[in-house]
């Protein structure tokens, strides 16, 4: 018997740090799974809940990286 696909709520909330930079919190099913922060025009830093840091080139790549690591460990 196969499993049916279930929809999952994914939200991105924007907040400001004390230096005024935008930090994006990725929320899956009401649980924060990581943050994304722009360091330079083509450099973002994604940090998951285990405080692992990933340097990516785009916003979308950062979101995909956080979701990928969440799915691997959830």
How is the chain split into domains, by residue range?
23-73
Q: Tell me what the mean pLDDT of segment 28-44 comes to.
A: 93
Alpha helices for 1-74 (secondary structure H)? 59-73
Confirm if 37 and 20 have CB atoms less than 8 A apart: no
At residue 57, the 3 state secondary structure works out as coil
Query: Sorting pLDDT into bands at 50, 70 and 90, what band is 37?
Result: very high
| Predicted pLDDT at 7 | 83
Q: In what order do the strands lie in the sheet with 22-28?
A: 10-16, 22-28, 31-40, 43-48, 53-56
| Predicted pLDDT at 44 | 96
């Amino acid at each position: 018997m196969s499993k049916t696909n279930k929809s999952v709520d994914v939200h991105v909330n924007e907040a400001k740090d004390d230096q005024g930079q935008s930090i994006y919190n990725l929320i899956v099913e009401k649980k924060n799974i990581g943050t994304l922060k722009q360091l330079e025009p083509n450099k973002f830093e994604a940090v998951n809940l285990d405080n692992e840091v990933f340097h990516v080139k785009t916003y979308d790549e950062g979101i995909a990286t956080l979701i990928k690591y969440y799915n691997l460990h959830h």
